[in-house]
Amino acid sequence: MGVEDDGTLSGIQRDNLQDWLMDTVFGRFIHPLMIPFYEEVVTDDGKRIAVVTVGMGTAKPYVVRHHDREEVYIRLGSTSRLASREQQLRLFQSGGLLHAESLPVSGRGFEQLDRRRLEEYLRLMIEDDEIPESESAWHQKLTNLDLMVPTEFGNTVCTIAGLAIFGKQPCYGLPQAGIHLLVFPGEEMDYNANLDEVLNIPFTGLHSAINPHEVLEHSLLDRVLYYLQPYISEERLVSMTRERIWDYPTAVIRELIVNAFAHRDWTHPNSVHMSIYQNRIEIISPGTLPNGMTVEKMKAGQRMPRNPIMTNILRDYRFMDNRGMGIRRKIMPLMKQHNGTEPAFEVTDDSVKVTLWK
């Protein structure tokens, strides 16, 4: 403060500026309360300049109270603009006040869920022998698991978590639930893709009730590897037997797909994208990292699940472990062992991209 828009140093005139800022600006107009760091510097010609430093808050979104309203602003370049509904949802989510995975999916009810998968989850994964018989009993059971939610109209609909993991065709009603596979012949994106497919199936698989090792329907993970097998693997003769050799460790691909799906921002309308190029794989998860998380913290093993309902279910299926060490203990060392490379991580305001080098 005390600096004009053109950079001219005009200096501050108010003697009690710090008290005014704390009591009036931050105390009356901003909510929740934030405490900035205030200091003054004096220029060579004796002008006082106030420097107000505000750290990143953990109680997002912060609002401006004005004319009996609470308004949320975002900064775009040199201007401040009112946040859109979607931007406000992401701010509530980053502040831990909202879990988008528990939001209702309009028009998607119990009939859109795969009852066989639900029964398998109850019996085998969480060892619940009380399998509902009526649809109303199912509604109550799934509401308790945050897989369905009652609405103000008296009906019960799927949550994002319920439809994405157990929906028969989850992309119908929740377009971002699928995984978009793209295969390009060269090292750059091309209109003539060898594969351009959105997989619209539940994330979980289905096994035989008689033989648990017999797979009746594959999981989304297995289908991804099935579709990509011709492009990133080949059969070779090894010690007089034919073996399938993969360009990338399949355990790394599986781990990254699970992470991209489980930790994505469901307020974004985009699907998880997996693109295969001649020299690399790119996996893009919609949404930036959760509040306070960084690539360095991920590599160190710090956990901050954005979607705890999904994360817990995927751990029940052993798609994920409880340690949160997949990047540090699996992805990084397996790629190093495979071809001596390290994955590249790129974080933007809209996505997290991981690149594996061939």
**Residue 111: predicted pLDDT:** 95
**Residue 34: predicted pLDDT:** 79
> Confidence band (pLDDT; 50, 70, 90) for 310?
very high
Positive or negative, the CA dihedral 304, 309, 313, 316 is: positive
Work out the mean pLDDT of the chain and round it to a whole number: 88
Query: What is the pLDDT averaged over residues 301-315?
Result: 84
In angstroms, rounded to a whole number, what is the distance separating the alpha carbons of residues 14 and 2? 10
> Confidence band (pLDDT; 50, 70, 90) for 280?
very high
Pairing of strands 179-183, 272-276: parallel
Name the most confidently modeled range: 62-76, 283-297, 331-345: 331-345
**Residue 58: predicted pLDDT:** 67
Q: Answer yes or no: are the C-beta atoms of 23 and 50 closer than 8 Å.
A: no
**Residue 324: predicted pLDDT:** 62
How confident is the model over 54-111, as pLDDT tens digits? 877 767 788 888 888 889 888 887 788 888 877 777 777 666 656 789 889 988 999 9
Q: Answer yes or no: are the C-beta atoms of 202 and 167 closer than 8 Å.
A: yes
Amino acid at 156: T
Alpha-carbon distances of 337 from 251, 300, 333, rounded to whole Å: 13, 19, 6
* Closest by CA position to 158, among listed 118, 217, 218, 205: 118
| Burial class of residue 7 in the structure, from the number of CB atoms within 10 Å of its CB (0-12 exposed, 13-18 middle, 19+ buried) | exposed
Alpha-carbon distances of 49 from 1, 25, 89, 181, rounded to whole Å: 6, 18, 36, 54
Residue 4 has pLDDT above 80, yes or no: yes
In angstroms, rounded to a whole number, what is the distance separating the alpha carbons of residues 213 and 180? 28
**Residue 50: predicted pLDDT:** 92
Q: What does the CA dihedral 295, 300, 302, 303 come to, rounded to 10 degrees? A: 70
3-state secondary structure 288-332: CCCCCCCHHHHHHCCCCCCCHHHHHHHHHCCCCCCCCCHHHHHHH
Domains of the chain, earliest start first: 17-98 (no CATH), 102-166 (no CATH), 175-357 (3.30.565.60)
**Residue 170: predicted pLDDT:** 94
**Residue 305: predicted pLDDT:** 75
Amino acid at 20: W
How confident is the model over 248-257, as pLDDT tens digits? 999 999 999 9
How confident is the model over 17-44, as pLDDT tens digits? 888 888 888 888 888 877 788 899 999 9
In angstroms, rounded to a whole number, what is the distance separating the alpha carbons of residues 82 and 92? 15
Element holding 184 (H helix, E strand) = none
Look up tokens 């995927």; give the residue: 314
Residue 225 has pLDDT above 70, yes or no: yes
Query: Worst-scoring range by mean pLDDT, 163-167, 238-242, 316-320?
Result: 238-242
Crossing angle of helices 220-232 and 250-262, in 10° steps, is: 140
Residue 49 has pLDDT above 70, yes or no: yes
Residue 208 has pLDDT above 90, yes or no: no
